[in-house]
Structure 1
Amino acid sequence: MTVLMSVDIEGVAGVFHPEQTRAGNGEYEQARRFMTNEANAAVLGAFDGGATEVWVNDSHGGFRNLLPNAFDPRARLVLGKPRTLGMMAGLEASPELVFMVGYHARAQSRGILAHTINSAAFARVMLDGEEVGEAALYGQLAEARGARVALITGDDVFGAETLPVFPDANFVCVKTAHGYSSGVTDTPEAACASIRRAAKETVEASRHSSSRAHHAPDSRRCELRTQSSAYADLFCQWPTLERLDAVTLAFDAPGIEQVVRTLNCLSAMSFMLR
């Protein structure tokens, strides 16, 4: 059984402030170790449960945060950008299961460091009329490729919004949000122990389960609300995007992969205004 892990940093135990997520300072160096340790705990748990192959996708920022020399040598790491499938690169290996480790709640929620893809440019993402965050977007991409979202970890707000989307997934809550930059956290050691145990149990249960990923609709409609009209001005230079109002645009796509790739392209475009 092959497992793909997509690992972000904002949902990791002990991480509360934007400085912890940005390279170039001591707090980030500590946070990336917390991130690496949680990811490796999930790797160890997956192998404990009987996984035969584990891929780990660094899914934060520039996609080069994880410390390769701190991982179990059996793991394979997906690092760097650009990459077509973004936070789900590694689906090319046709994994049966997907783990989302260290994920966060969607933009405009009360989750810790909540945002959706690009905090500077994206205020809200709607998919077929439903508000979505990164987990819902990328989890549906995984399902479209035949994998099942089996384990998610992060704060309580993230769990509450994500479990209804993937009701068969196990959830490890490593911290409780009191606001955007505050809350109560497990220690890194306790979080790693919980994640390793849950990963083991998830793989063991999946080896004896017949559950499958749900089929995603073929045609999708995405609406994006931007943080300012300047971003909408920029994004609507793309000829297939429809301007709905000063800060909202929309586009149709033949599937979830095209939705994700378009959003990632718009995110990259946004750096023109910084």
Structure 2
Amino acid sequence: MKVLISADIEGVAGVFHPEQTRAGNGEYEAARRWMTLEANAAIEGAFSGGATHVWVNDSHGGFRNLLPDLLDPRVQIVLGKPRTLGMMAGLEYGAALVFMIGYHSMAQTRGVLAHTINSFAFARVSLNGVEVGEAGLYGALAEEYGARVALLSGDDVFAEETAPRFPDARFVVTKSASGHSSGVTQTPASARDAIEHAAREVVQHCIASGFAPQATRADVEVKPVDCELRVQTTALADLFCQWPTLTRVDGVTLRFSAASVEHAVRMLNCLSAMSFMLR
């Protein structure tokens, strides 16, 4: 059983303020350590449950937050950008299960540090008429590769929002949100224990039930998708519509079609990178 762990930081126990997510200060250094140890709890649980291969994908910001020397030596670590599959880089190695650790709710919800991909640029992302956050978007990408989203962790708003999309997945709630930058959290140690326990049970259950991924991505039916993107300012819409394949709906709403979820993800990540021109 092969497992891909995608690790973000905003949903990690103890993380509430933007300062904790930005490099260059002591609060970030503490938060990245908590992030690393939550990822490691998922890694250790996966191996204890019977996983044969585990990759962990650093999925926050510049994708170089995890501290490799604190991770289980059996894991392979996906670091740095750009990368074609973004927060799901590693799927190409044939993962059967995907864990999303330290994730957060979508933009303009009441979850802790809620956003979708890029808080400066994106206010709303929809695929085929359904609004998605990062979990919904990248979960759909995982499914295009024949993998199952089996375990997710983050705050209570994230769990409530995401559970209908992945009804068979296990959720670990690490904290409860009372606002964008406030709430009640488990201790890092308690959150790690819960994540490790859940990861072990999820892998054990999947092995016992005989779950296996599609042999290759070619075995999965890949369908075109329509993406609607609401951006934060008209200036961003002006910039993004330099792409000839984007259609402007109104001052801040754009649409484009993509051959697959993967292609939609790649387009969104390119637009996110473009937005730095206006910072």
* Match 1:260 to one of 241, 250, 265: 265
**Residue 23, structure 1, aligned to residue 23, structure 2:** yes
Q: Deviations over 1:153-179 (max 9, x none)?
A: 000000011111111100000000001
SS at match of 1:264: helix
In the aligned structure 1, how far is the partner of 2:113 from the partner of 2:145?
Answer: 29
Q: Deviations over 1:75-113 (max 9, x none)?
A: 110000010000000001110000000000000100000
**Residue 79, structure 1, aligned to residue 79, structure 2:** yes
Report the counterpart of residue 107 of structure 1 in structure 2.
Answer: 107
Report the counterpart of residue 207 of structure 1 in structure 2.
Answer: 207
Q: Deviations over 1:178-212 (max 9, x none)?
A: 01000000000000000000000000001022457
The letter of the residue matching 2:104 is H
In the aligned structure 2, how far is the partner of 1:96 from the partner of 1:13?
Answer: 27
**Residue 248, structure 1, aligned to residue 253, structure 2:** yes
Report the counterpart of residue 174 of structure 2 in structure 1.
Answer: 174
Q: Tell me the percent identity.
A: 68
Q: Deviations over 1:121-156 (max 9, x none)?
A: 000111111110000000110010010000000000
In the aligned structure 2, how far is the partner of 1:4 from the partner of 1:251?
Answer: 29
The letter of the residue matching 2:113 is L
Post-superposition offset of 1:254: 1.2
Post-superposition offset of 1:251: 0.2
With over 3 angstroms needed to count, the CA separation of the structure-2 counterparts of 1:103 and 1:213, relative to structure 1, is farther
Report the counterpart of residue 49 of structure 2 in structure 1.
Answer: 49
Unaligned stretches of 5+ in structure 2?
215-219
Report the counterpart of residue 152 of structure 2 in structure 1.
Answer: 152
Q: Aligned-pair RMSD on alpha carbons? A: 1.2
Post-superposition offset of 1:253: 0.8
SS at match of 2:209: coil
Per mean C-alpha deviation after superposition, the further-off stretch among 211-220 and 43-52 is 211-220
In the aligned structure 2, how far is the partner of 1:199 from the partner of 1:35?
Answer: 16
State TM-score, norm by structure 1.
Answer: 0.98
* Match 2:225 to one of 220, 224, 227: 220
In the aligned structure 2, how far is the partner of 1:173 from the partner of 1:267?
Answer: 29
In the aligned structure 2, how far is the partner of 1:93 from the partner of 1:217?
Answer: 18
In the aligned structure 2, how far is the partner of 1:213 from the partner of 1:74?
Answer: 22
The letter of the residue matching 1:264 is N
In the aligned structure 1, how far is the partner of 2:213 from the partner of 2:76?
Answer: 23
Post-superposition offset of 1:72: 0.8
Report the counterpart of residue 35 of structure 1 in structure 2.
Answer: 35
The letter of the residue matching 2:239 is L
* Match 1:239 to one of 225, 235, 244: 244
SS at match of 1:208: helix
Report the counterpart of residue 142 of structure 2 in structure 1.
Answer: 142
Contact map agreement 1:143 1:213 (CA 8 A) in 2: no
Contact map agreement 2:105 2:157 (CA 8 A) in 1: yes
Contact map agreement 1:143 1:216 (CA 8 A) in 2: no
Unaligned stretches of 5+ in structure 1?
none
The letter of the residue matching 1:146 is G
SS at match of 2:123: strand
Alignment coverage as a number of residue pairs: 274
State TM-score, norm by structure 2.
Answer: 0.96
